[in-house]
Amino acid sequence: MLRYIIKRLLQMIPTVIGVMILTFVLFYIVPNDLAVISLGKNTSLKGLDDFDQKRGLNKPLFFGVRATTRAYEDHDFSDGAGRWNGWSNAVYSAESKTVFIEPNTQLNALGFSLDGSTEYEWKLRFRGNGSLAGRKLDASTWRTEKIRFKGQVDASFLAG
46-95 pLDDT, tens digit per residue, is: 888 888 777 767 766 655 545 554 455 555 555 555 555 556 666 767 67
Of residues 121 and 68, more confidence is placed in 121
Q: Are 114 and 156 in contact (CB under 8 A)?
A: yes
Q: Does residue 103 belong to any structural domain of this protein?
A: yes
In a domain, 95, yes or no: yes
- Contact by Cβ (8 Å): 107, 116: no
Three-class SS state of 92 = strand
Residue 129 located in a structural domain: yes
Q: Is residue 3 domain-resident?
A: no
- For residue 10, tell me if it sits in a domain: no
Q: Which residue, 143, 116, 114, 113, is CA-closest to 128?
A: 143
pLDDT at 20 exceeding the cut of 80: yes
Cα 22 to chain centroid distance, Å, stands at 25
% helix, strand, coil for the chain, step of 5: 30, 30, 40
Q: Is residue 27 in some structural domain?
A: no
Residue 102 lies in a domain: yes
What average pLDDT does the segment 99-107 reach? 66
Domain count for the chain, please give it.
Answer: 1
Range of the domain at 83: 68-160
Q: Looking at this protein, which amino acid is placed at residue 27?
A: F
